[in-house]
Structure 1
Amino acid sequence: MWVGYLGYELKQEVGASNLSAEISPGVNRPDAQFFAPDTVVIIDHELGQMHLHSINKPDAEITIVLGNPPQQRSGQDLCVPHFTCADTAAGYQEKIRRAQHEIYEGNTYEVCLTTELTAQVEDFNPFEAYCRMRQSSPAPFAHYLRLPKLEVASISPERFLALSKNAQLRAEPIKGTRPRGTDEESDLALKHDLATHPKDRAENIMIVDLLRNDLSHHAVPGSVRVTRLCSVESYATVHQMVSTIDATLKSPELAADALREAFPPGSMTGAPKLSTMNILDELEDHRARGLYSGAVGYLGADGAADFSVVIRTLVCDKLPDRSWRLSLGLGGAITADSVPEDEWEEVITKSRGVLQALGATFPLSTAR
């Protein structure tokens, strides 16, 4: 098994422009990193079983955190970071209007515009941050990676692409977001609004159509099908609209080709993909997204693979001076019907799951 990430800048491999993921002057993060773990613990929640696989004899003591981590652990204080945003509210809304101009010109029909929160702290504990994020906002694709000079704490709710050992492909894009309500009545109203809003459904359906095309390149003809369309899932801080696209791979040998064809995740680019990525480079001031908008997952020895979309993710880079650079990517899909003020509010909404767990807030200087 190989575990790791594919950064957004690997888009150059599918014909998009090449941006360097520079995290500080002269310091670049690799566009992809994978490692082969020597010990793997597999927990089957349906059967209530746990399996341990190791290439070496396991240590006598292996600590496994099951379920939510303990709320209190001595000596695990977390420095509260103070973030700055790459865009002001006015600046981001102007970029939305520029994106809509590209739509009116016929160069794209959906643009996933993003921004970035960053902070630099002298001392930080990324694993503690992950534990708090996982406890306050549990998500189906939450993950924590520890790599040389890089740690990743994610509460991603979105699957990018899964491949079974039987060559079954599955993508589950998310498009459409509402905050959770303050009481049951308002919560149900927000959920209903998301489920029925024409603009959100249009966003989701456009990305479904893009992914149907992505999967069809290496799928058995006629096997691509939408098994779930515009379903609403509820998480701790947001409601999300999710669809499911399934397909059968022509041959197991085409697994890597299928992964490449679908990358970067369509829900993080827009459509059509290539022209929209070029537009995004301009709108986002040629700022590299890095891990954000890429994918994290595994490639199994049996041919299976599963990758999540890197959203709701705190990326922690260890700098040469031993301080930490923290980054949180945020964004949303822009269509012809988008209201710039509403899209900015969605950016703030999407930040809450991570920021609240850290005790941090959205930067007030840019929030309004």
Structure 2
Amino acid sequence: MKKIILISGIIGPIVGSNQSFTNTINGYLKRNYKVYHFAFFNKNNKKYDIEKLLKNKNYKFYGISKIFRIKNKNKKNVNFITLPKSNEIIIPESEINYKQKLFYYFYNIFETLRILFFIPFIKPDLIYSYEVFSVIPGYIISKIINKPLIKRFQGTFINKNNIESKKINFHKKAYKKDCLLNVMANDGTKGDIVLKKLGFKEEKILFLLNGLDERMKNKLNKNNINKLKLNLNLKDKDIVLGIFNRFYPFKRVDRAFYLINELKKFINNPYLLVGGLGGPMEMPIKKYVVDNDLEENVKFLGQIKYENMKSYYECCDIVLILNDYANTGNQIIETSYLGKETIAINDENNSKYLNYDNIHYINPHNFLEDSVNQVINIYKKR
């Protein structure tokens, strides 16, 4: 049996998302690998779902103590974040801060030393670095023990306009490190172009769209869907929109609220379901709801388990995918497969690969007018 060391830092199988991570591990387990997973979170952290993985005898988890968990003491400050305008473009570089840089250097040392301690006992055949923070430890270990390194990225913060930016220099260092193979998700961020600009040839780049999770193919019980609609109080709603994302700036969840507020002028009872993990935009968005009397038009669902996502899609007349960046992800693949009416910001990549009648692409510079028109057109056709 071959052995692989997978290094992931704070990346892991987050509840309600990131099934690509779990599928990566399962892929190696099915191919008769023993997976030694080194991560910077505790196995009991409720943010992550590794319970099923832990039941597999060939999966070994090396996490951290609970004492390392950092609580956000400045939570109140997010009330003062100003929401962007609907047609404003937010780039992900704006989310990089000095804390991330400090963690990058700390984690490089911490994880390298920790893995070196376990190397004589594991004797791996392959090193797999999942995302930016894990590349340097993986690279150093692979060189010391002379074993191949695979790097896996879910997209990139680097683009042609910021490739020399000092703010993302530690990302650039990770992308540049040599390896056997770069696995880069085709999520709309054009990571293949970035890797080629940094010197990698085609044979060292695996550039793929995310796959469709098997759970999306499961048949749903109509009675259960009707019960869910009843629980969500959707019976008297004229149209139901859904957005399922984290409350982070470039995810642009705020646009859904501008849209529902505008739709009230044209449709009697529009409704918005909002599901996903929290983030710095959550409190200002909730304030916007109160300030604009949208309490009767919005329901915050909180975190949703992935196995329930198909049911929530079925409750929506339209799914919204409004990121400014990385818009060719799991959700648009899922709604394409399900034939669910979807309004998505055009990142010039998703419209190229996923050109279906149920996906309606919107120019972010004219978001509000175009999205209102699309919703009204869909509403009239029902």
TM-score by length of 2: 0.23
Query: Highest Rg: 1 or 2?
Result: 2
> Larger RCO: Structure 1 or Structure 2 (Cα < 8 Å, ≥ 6 residues apart)?
1
Tell me which protein shows more helix as a share of its residues.
2
TM-score by length of 1: 0.24
Tell me which protein shows more strand as a share of its residues.
1
